[in-house]
Amino acid sequence: MSDLLERLRARGWRLTAQRRVVAEVLNGDHVHLTADEVHALAGARLPEISRATVYNTLGELVALGEVAEVGTDGRAKRYDPNARTAHQHLVCGVCGTIRDVHPDGDPLAALSPAERFGFDVLAADVTYRGVCPDCRRD
């Protein structure tokens, strides 16, 4: 379970009503919302929250390293509260649903020294692609 709110409290991030609602909307597992989705969900709880506030808050959370941006090619950027937990993504090519997955082994270790080309390799993002059960027609 993502503990975004707890992490933000521990960092002393000033939790205004608007920031809290954005963080609450993002809290959880397998959460990968677009900025527009965050705005719609936050607006249901706090009708006066503006799109600009949502975008600014998302930008701050990314800058803090507490929320990760997930790019899924050709679709809107998504925001992932599990920024502190190493995981990879499983993406449905039809509807764009994303699940957090934890493959066996360390993806960094899978790259041999010869293929590192002298780089200090710091992270690996692996995307598994497929068709989710809702989109699959049996």
Residues near Zn ion, by CB under 5 A: 80, 82, 92, 94-95, 97, 100, 132, 135
Across the strands, what pairs with 130? 92
Element spanning 21, H or E:
helix 17-26
CB of 54 to Zn ion, least distance (A): 19
- The distance of closest approach from Cβ of residue 68 to Zn ion in the complex, given in angstroms and rounded to an integer, is 7
Distance from chain centroid for Cα 108: 20
Report, in Å, the least distance between residue 135 CB and Zn ion.
Answer: 3
Identity of residue 70: V
Q: Which is nearer to Zn ion, 111 or 132 (CB)?
A: 132
Q: Closer CB to Zn ion, residue 58 or residue 92?
A: 92
Q: Letter for the amino acid at 115?
A: E
CB of 59 or CB of 71, closer to Zn ion: 71
Q: Are 49 and 25 in contact (CB under 8 A)?
A: no
